[in-house]
């Protein structure tokens, strides 16, 4: 049965992240598909009112999940997109912001907007105090020994570049080896390609092994007296796999090598203790942890930061000019919000959601989900990258958005070498956060089946 007004869609290629690679990577594009069709009234369709009623019923029954409890804190989630209730499943790219963070930003600009570290008047002093308090909150959140070990940056990409240029170039020389996995985000690969070109250092890549995760046996065997640095993710933004960072750091330190950890997908979702991990550097982004965009942070061990040029006291020497003051304060508010919930509580809930998402997706015909299957000993992050046979992921993402209001990501997720290792050029990705619910997953699966049925019919 058909309903509504005929719509016209054009499925487009995803916008790819710019990158540098030692060899050319070819992209294949989905065929440009232009078609007119009407919105389907299918058994998979769930109206906003019906979904809301179902969630309300759950609340009345006392089944209060963390998603149901926290959802009211996020104004952006309560809207319709393309005539359907928004179901936001693109959290690995960026998270939504609670009212507490929005209010903190508004309060800064309305009440004490001023520059920091420069003025003696009330507004400047207040802004400086709040800015430095945010640094202390970050330090406490990841259990750094001292707030001076936290450097504010524009994002995790800038944080990695800071390490590459201020530590990498002065410390790496001809023949030194840098170990990186093929599953890294571009921002953790490209700077080290440039540093290797400048210094003569050699990049060694850990390939995928069983269950489509970096081969830990090969990883361990790569270490030698030439190894000077390891750059690795904590949680993969594509595979949903979690690497044993403590073990990897132990291997590296036995050879005197330093370790840079990309924690963008772990800090927002689990307890991360830099003293337990013993990583030398760790980076994360505010916008993935309920905070504002345009700010992230670098954690570094004090002795390393102190030895890195330019010659001022850390961390201020790495924060030249007027910093992102309001954004730092907003990040502090996000940390307060997350801490108020409890990171272990968030992690436990997301493990449950991750398993539910994985098992629900497995029932979709002709699907391949990348990364390890969840088991009693293997935990996946709350995301799934997948492909469905003979359907381009961008066509799926476009249909889900325009016909069902479901937001997922398609493309290579800034991880082209990983997709090349997987033998594909792109994938679709649904990623959850603690404000998502099992109802979101159910609606997504229903919409995905609708998309598959429609797109299969076009072939």
Domains annotated for the chain, with CATH where assigned, are 70-90+342-458 (3.90.1150.10), 100-341 (3.40.640.10)
Alpha helices, DSSP H only, in 4-146?
48-60, 66-70, 99-111, 122-141
pLDDT value of residue 55: 46
Instruction: Assess whether 35 carries a catalytic annotation.
Output: no
Dist CA 310 CA 302 (whole Å): 15
* Selected catalytic residue, list 264, 290, 384, 414: 414
Question: Do 168 and 199 form a contact (C-beta atoms < 8 A)?
Answer: yes
pLDDT in tens, the chain (459 residues): 333 333 335 444 433 343 333 333 333 333 333 343 333 333 333 333 334 444 444 444 457 999 999 999 999 999 999 999 999 999 999 999 999 999 999 999 999 999 999 889 999 999 999 999 999 999 999 999 999 999 999 999 999 999 999 999 999 999 999 999 999 999 999 999 999 999 999 999 999 999 999 999 999 999 999 999 999 999 999 999 999 999 999 999 999 999 999 999 999 999 999 999 999 999 999 999 999 999 999 999 999 999 998 634 667 778 878 999 999 999 999 999 999 999 999 999 999 999 999 999 999 999 999 999 999 889 999 999 999 999 999 999 999 999 999 999 999 999 999 999 999 999 999 999 999 999 999 999 999 999 999 999 987
What is the predicted pLDDT for the residue at 459?
A: 78
DSSP 242: B
- The angle at the Cα of 450, spanning 448 to 451, to the nearest 5 degrees, equals 65
Check: CB of residue 238 under 8 Å from CB of residue 385: yes
The neighbour count for residue 4, using CB atoms within 10 Å, is 11
The whole-number pLDDT of residue 281 equals 98
Cα 136 from Cα 148, distance rounded (Å): 8
| Bridge partners (DSSP) listed for residue 407 | 88
Report DSSP letters for 142-182, one per residue.
TT-S-GGGEEEESSHHHHHHHHIIIIIHHH--TT-EEEEET
Q: What are phi and psi of 183, to 5 degrees?
A: -90, 10
Residues for the chain: how many in total? 459
Return the closest-CA partner of residue 292 out of 336, 333, 331, 340.
331
Which pLDDT value is given to residue 18?
35
Our measurement of the distance from residue 124's CA atom to the centroid of its chain's CA atoms, rounded to an integer in Å, reads: 33
Task: Yes or no: say if 191 and 148 are a contact pair by the CB < 8 Å rule.
Answer: no
Burial grade of 66 (CB within 10 A; 0-12, 13-18, 19 or more) = buried
pTM of the model: 0.86
Count CA atoms within 13 Å of residue 98 on its CB side: 22
Whole-number Å distance between alpha carbons of 375 and 213: 15
């Amino acid at each position: 049965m058909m309903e509504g007004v005929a719509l016209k869609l054009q499925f487009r290629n995803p916008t790819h992240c710019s990158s540098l690679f030692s060899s050319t990577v070819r992209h294949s594009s989905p065929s440009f598909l232009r078609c007119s069709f009407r919105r389907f009234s299918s058994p998979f369709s769930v109206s906003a009112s019906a979904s809301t009623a179902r969630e309300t019923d759950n609340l009345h029954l006392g089944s209060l999940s963390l998603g149901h409890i926290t959802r009211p804190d996020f104004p952006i989630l309560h809207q319709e997109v393309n005539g359907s209730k928004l179901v936001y499943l693109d959290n690995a790219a960026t998270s939504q912001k609670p009212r507490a963070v929005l209010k903190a930003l508004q309060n800064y600009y309305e009440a004490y907007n001023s520059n920091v570290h420069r003025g003696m008047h009330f507004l400047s002093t207040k802004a400086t105090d709040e800015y430095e308090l945010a640094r202390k909150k970050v330090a406490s959140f990841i259990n750094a020994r001292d707030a001076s070990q936290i450097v504010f940056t524009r994002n995790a990409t800038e944080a990695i570049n800071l390490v590459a240029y201020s530590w990498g170039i002065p410390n790496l020389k001809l023949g030194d080896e840098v170990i990186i996995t093929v599953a890294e985000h571009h921002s953790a690969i490209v700077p080290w390609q440039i540093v290797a070109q400048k210094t003569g250092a050699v990049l060694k890549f850990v390939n995928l092994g069983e269950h489509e995760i970096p081969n830990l046996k090969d990883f361990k065997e790569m270490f030698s007296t030439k190894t000077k640095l390891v750059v690795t993710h904590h949680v993969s933004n594509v595979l949903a796999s979690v690497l044993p960072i403590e073990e990897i750091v132990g291997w590296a330190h036995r050879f005197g090598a330093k370790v840079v950890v990309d924690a963008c997908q772990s800090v927002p979702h689990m307890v991360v203790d830099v003293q337990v991990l013993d990583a030398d550097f760790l980076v994360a982004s505010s916008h993935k942890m309920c905070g504002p965009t345009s700010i992230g942070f670098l954690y570094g061990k004090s002795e390393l930061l102190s030895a890195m040029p330019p010659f001022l006291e850390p961390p201020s020497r790495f924060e030249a000019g007027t910093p992102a003051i309001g954004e730092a304060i907003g990040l502090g508010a996000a940390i307060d919000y997350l801490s108020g919930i409890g990171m272990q509580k968030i992690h436990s809930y997301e493990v449950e959601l991750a398993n539910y998402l994985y098992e629900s997706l497995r029932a979709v015909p002709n699907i391949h989900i990348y990364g390890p299957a969840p088991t009693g000993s293997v935990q996946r992050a709350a995301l799934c990258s997948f492909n469905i046979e003979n359907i381009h992921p961008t066509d799926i993402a476009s249909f889900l958005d325009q016909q069902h209001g479901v937001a997922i990501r398609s493309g290579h997720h800034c991880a082209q070498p990983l997709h090349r290792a997987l033998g594909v050029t792109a994938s679709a990705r649904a990623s959850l956060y603690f404000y998502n619910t099992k109802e979101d997953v159910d609606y997504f699966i229903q919409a995905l089946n609708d998309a598959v049925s429609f797109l299969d019919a076009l072939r």
